[in-house]
Amino acid sequence: MFLLSALGIFSFLEIKDIIHDNSKKIIEKSHDSIQKITHSAISDSIKELDKKSQDMIENQTLSIANSVADFLKKRDKDILYLANQKINQKSLENFYNRKNSAIHIPVNYQYNDKIDKWIPLNTPILRQNKEVAKLQDNAKEFHKINIKPARKKLIPIYKEITYYNLQGQEIYKVSSLDKKLKNISLKQNTYCRAEEYYQKSLKLKKNEIYVSQVIGEYIPSPIIGSFTKAKAQLANIKFEPKKYAYAGIENPVGKKFDGIIRFVTPVYKKNKLQGYLTFALDHQHIMDFTDFVEPISAASLDISDASKGNYAFMWSSEFKSISHPRDYFIVGYNRQTGEIVPGWIDEELASAFKKSGKKNLNLFLKEQPLFLNQSLKKKPNTAQIKKGQIALDCRYLNFAPQCQGWSQLTEDGGYGSFIIFWSNVWKLTTAATIPYYTGQYKNSKRGFGFITIGANTEEFHKAATKTKEKIDKDLAKEENSIEENILQITKHIFQNIKSHTNNMILITIILIILVIYVAIYIANHISNKINSVTIGIEKIKERDFEYQIETKGKDEIGKLKNAFNEMAQSINFLNKDLQNKLYTDELTKLKNRMSFWKDINNYSNPTLYLLDIDLFKNINDYYGVKAGNFVLVEFAHLLRKFAQDKQMNIYRIGSDEYLLLGKKSTYKVIKNTIETLSQLVSNTHFINHDLHVDITISFTCGISAGEGNLLEKADLALNEAVRKKVSYLIYSDSNQNMNKHKNHMFWKEKIQYAISNDMIIPFFQEIIDIKNPKNKKYEALIRIKDEVENKIISPYFFLDIAKEAKLYPQLTQIMVEKTFKFFEHKDVFFSLNLSIDDIRNKKTVNFIYKKIHQYNVQNKLIFELLETEEIGDFEEVKPFIKLMKRLGVKFAIDDFGSGYSNFSYLLQIKPDYIKIDGSLIKNLTLNSNEYHIVDAIVKFAKTLDAKVIAEHVSSKNIITALSNFDIDYLQGFYFSEPSNKLT
């Protein structure tokens, strides 16, 4: 019996270990399965949250870019309005004093020596709102957040308004920059000695506007990041933060970048040019669009903050930084010399500059390729940090590959984003074109420039990550608890064996079953609880942010469920808040343009009314912006009630533009609707005693119906109604003025199709050497091969539209590629037309340079520059001409005598050939005006040692007339028509 008992005890001990081990394996397997499901669900949730945040921040970037463009367009309206008024000192002062706009006021900070950190001064503490719902029906998960209003102040929009005469002498002036009247034809008398608007203004026509780049003094900083005493000591400088650049929360007492954007337009009186009006826009207003943006939060910042990596900034169309939370990154000028302070470069480029022996980094950079092999592997030039000269010029910021990414995103005027590993974190970075195309910006698809936002991707899914950490922690706790329970049970079994040996076998069997049951029960219990959390995560993945997990217990799993519910509520609130901001106009609370594009898909052949308040600008100018906003809000209330009665949707899509969207209507219903609304508005008085406003308003309306781009059609109808001075017009395809865009779109699509399908081809026309007819030259001329209609299309039909549609650079590059390849192995000279826009386009210039070397055509290539295109500042084209001539390329001036006839610029170009314009040649007879002009051109060309080519030679009589001049070459249909083969 003893031996049997002993054997039973030892056997039971072995069984105890087996039960313990197997129970542990069951728990571990259950734990692994739960963890795998949970982690997979959370991983999917993170991806969805990241994608949602990416879309929202892209839209936020686009919204800021559009807001900047709208603000700049208002400045265009301002200067054109004042230019058409009586100009004197008083009128300038009155206008200057009326034009104010609000900007953010940053919170005051002071330096704390104890913690070596900047801390806010007298900043109110925001406490969480514990308010409960007033009605029981609303009590479940009631969550109210009060957003602290941004601190703002009104400041003048313009730093300066001036009027100067045709010689550049200022006559009237209102200025916070320099009150002394100066002659601004001298560059040293302009802001930072850097402006050249006098020379630019001489080329302006009536109602044209010159708009400068951002101009201001560069503010250096030898410290990047927070300006502390510890960092100052490391940089071996005194702790003098006020002496260096402002950087928001990182240096809140530094010097702020003080920039302007210059607007200029000519002033006419009785169609005679009198002088020029200029506005110097305070650049603070532009920076205010980005400095206080917090992409992760719905609220704006109290002070600009780049320390966390989540911020917005702005670049010019030339890829120069023009707004940044750290002002030392903004490109500026040397106030003493008027030269631009060169941007931050990488070590490799710095080494090449040093080896070149050149003294001026700006001149060196002009000769370098743009965006040269940009990579994270490249290192920044530390020598520039020590000098404090670290402005950002994306073209040469070769250690920052996101620059090339932004270029790619915005190259066609669009927007987008990508994720990059920057500063040891994964960051989402966006870019959106600023669609402002006045003056010099009309030649850039990027318009005024582009907005970028950077945001750490970890911030997008922080709540889901915390949930994962909590699940792991709680699972570990539950696993330990189960193991302890099993140990207690097996211990109890062992004690009972000692006292109940006779019942050992029966008890053992019972206890084994009991232990297994308990282990399975506990594992199932945990699985069920975790499964409910998994279901909740799946709901998040499906974007059901309102789903809540039922919570009963107060154990660790119960706390986990509560944490999940709080996370879901936070995500739901943020999602709704962002959706609301995305689709709602902030001032009137009406739906906005994005909401319209979303809603119109739900209509079949709808009717659209585009309303524009008449002379609204006069209300703003006379009564002030607050009164203007009052009128906009009250007009919105009136339209909302009208739209409700008519079962229509209403939107505000611009400053004073509203949309009414209704179902399909007959002409009679449309006419009745707009006339009823017009009568209602004219009978309404907009009264606000506090603002001293008591006015009536009217509106002009463009109407479209049916299919297609209704907003574009309504806008065309509105413009035509304004032109005809009628209250409304309905869009009609038969109206030529409304239908001009169709021809534009037809040719734009034809050009795009030709580019995509290799239908752009070069034709060649021979140029005859009078002294040696066998020594031929050829001019390459662009054509479109229309395979559908089986014909060749002349550039007369499409070239101007290509320029408007910004397709011209592609045409030039195709002609360069095909023409160079055609003449690669031919021993003849050939010429190719280049426009000034081609030379200004760095991408095109780099392409030409590459293809010249690829096909080795530099010694037989002639570039023809159109004399009908005004070069303006010769410095723009001088580097290109100098580089090409150094390679052996020759230059011709095409169509000379038809355009600006700028003889001084001819002297600087020193052309090898001058081509006399065909309009002079085809009308050439003895003793005619054309005869004397041709005689003068030929004599002038000979003084330059340039060969003369007569174009458009079409008859024997013209050849006879030309024999009286010392002309070298002839070209025209008399000899040959352009062909795709050499004659």
Segment 2-42, tens digit of pLDDT: 444 445 555 555 655 665 566 566 556 655 665 666 666 55
172 neighbors 186 (Cβ within 8 angstroms): no
- pLDDT-derived band at 125 (thresholds 50, 70, 90) equals very low
- For the segment 626-646, the average pLDDT, to the nearest whole number, is 94
| C-alpha pair distances (Å), 88 with each of 80, 82, 85, 537 | 15, 11, 9, 69
pLDDT (0 to 100) of residue 781: 96
Q: Phi and psi at residue 659, in whole multiples of 5°?
A: -120, 140
- What's the one-letter identity of residue 601? N
Terminal C-alpha separation, the chain = 124
pLDDT of residue 126: 47
**How many angstroms separate the CA atoms of 771 and 723, rounded?**
58
pLDDT band at 391 (very low <50, low <70, confident <90, very high): very high
Report the pLDDT averaged over residues 109-114: 91
pLDDT for 5: 46
Other CB atoms within 10 A of residue 337 CB: 11
Segments in 455-555 forming alpha helices (H): 462-499, 504-541
What Rg value do the Cα atoms of the chain yield, rounded?
37
Decide if pLDDT at 807 tops 70.
Answer: yes
Which range among 400-404, 583-587, 773-777 has the greatest average pLDDT?
A: 400-404
Residue 324 has pLDDT above 80, yes or no: yes
Q: How far is CA 76 from CA 25, 80, 275, 281, in A?
A: 76, 6, 18, 11
Evaluate whether 173 touches 276 at the Cβ level (below 8 Å): no
Nearest to 708 by CA among 681, 683, 753, 742: 742
Query: Which is more confident, 537 or 384?
Result: 384
195 within 8 A of 212, measured Cβ to Cβ: yes
How far apart CA 209 and CA 438 sit, in angstroms, is 7
What pLDDT is attached to residue 904?
64
Pairs from 643-648 (Cβ < 8 Å, separation ≥ 24):
646/673
Residue 136, number of CB atoms within 10 A of its CB: 8
**Residue 721 backbone phi and psi in degrees, to 5:** -65, -40
pLDDT at position 325? 94
CA distance 648 to 662: 5
Rounded CA-CA distance 79/57 in Å is 34
Residue 617 clears pLDDT 60, i.e. is over it:
yes
Q: Is 122 helix (H, G, I), strand (E, B) or coil?
A: coil
What is the spatial distance between Cα 192 and Cα 147, in angstroms, rounded to a whole number?
41
CB contact set of 934 (below 8 Å; sequence gap of 6+): 897, 916, 920, 921, 924, 965
pLDDT grade, residue 574 (50/70/90)? Answer: low
- Helix 504-541 and helix 2-83: axis angle, to 10°? 10
The three-point CA angle 56-58-62 to 5° equals: 115
Torsion angles phi and psi, residue 410, rounded to 5: -105, 5
From residue 322, give the alpha-carbon distance in Å to each of 152, 653, 928.
Answer: 22, 28, 56
Burial profile 362-372: b = 16 or more Cβ within 10 angstroms, e = fewer:
eebbeeeebbb
pLDDT of 495: 61
Q: How many whole angstroms separate alpha carbon 867 and alpha carbon 583? A: 50
Kind plus residue range of the DSSP H or E element containing 702: strand 699-705
Q: What CA–CA distance (Å, rounded) separates 151 from 938?
A: 69
Tens digit of pLDDT for each residue in 413-457? 999 999 998 877 888 999 999 999 999 998 888 999 999 998 887
Tell me what the pLDDT averaged over the chain comes to. Answer: 85
Q: Looking at 909-981, which runs of residues are DSSP E strands?
A: 913-916, 947-950, 969-970
Q: Compute the distance between CA of residue 259 and CA of residue 423 in angstroms, rounded to an integer.
A: 29
Return the H-helix or E-strand segment holding 430: strand 425-434
- For residue 59, what are the contacts with CB-CB under 8 A and spacing of at least 6? 582, 594
- Residue 645 pLDDT more than 50? yes
Place of tokens 């211990």: 491
**DSSP character at residue 117:** E
The candidate with the shortest Cα–Cα distance to 765, out of 754, 775, 783, 778, is 778
Tell me the per-residue pLDDT of 474-495, one tens digit each, with 9 for 90 and over: 666 666 666 666 566 656 655 6
Alpha-carbon distance of 46 to 469, in angstroms, equals 13
What whole-number distance in Å separates Cα of residue 146 and Cα of residue 150?
12
Task: Strands of 553-630 (E only): list them.
Answer: 607-613
Kindly indicate the confidence band of residue 685, based on its pLDDT and cuts at 50, 70 and 90: very high
For the segment 880-925, what is each residue's pLDDT rounded down to a tens digit? 999 999 999 999 988 887 654 556 667 778 899 999 988 888 878 7
Contact 451, 65 (CB under 8 A): yes
Instruction: Report H helices in 178-282.
Output: 197-201, 229-234
Judged against a pLDDT cut of 60, whether residue 962 lies above it is answered with: yes
CA distance 970 to 983: 15
Q: State the pLDDT confidence band at 872, using cuts at 50, 70 and 90.
A: low
Report d(CA 563, CA 505) in Å as an integer: 48
Sign (positive or negative) of CA dihedral 421, 423, 424, 430:
negative
Check: CB of residue 750 under 8 Å from CB of residue 798. yes
Helix (H/G/I), strand (E/B), else coil: 584: strand
Cβ-based neighbour number of residue 96 at 10 Å: 21
Query: Model confidence at 860, in pLDDT bands (50, 70, 90)?
Result: very high
Which pTM does this prediction carry?
0.53
CA pair distance 716, 729, nearest whole angstrom: 9
- For residues 508 and 763, the model is more confident at 763
User: What pLDDT is stored for residue 309 in this prediction?
Assistant: 81
Pull the structure tokens for residue 669.
């219903």
Q: Among 983, 913, 976, which residue's Cα sits nearest to residue 948?
A: 913
Per residue in 514-566, pLDDT tens? 767 766 766 666 666 666 666 766 666 666 667 776 766 666 666 666 766 76
Q: What is the pLDDT of residues 201-212, one digit of tens each?
A: 999 999 999 999
Rounded-to-integer distance, Cα 915 and Cα 907, Å = 15
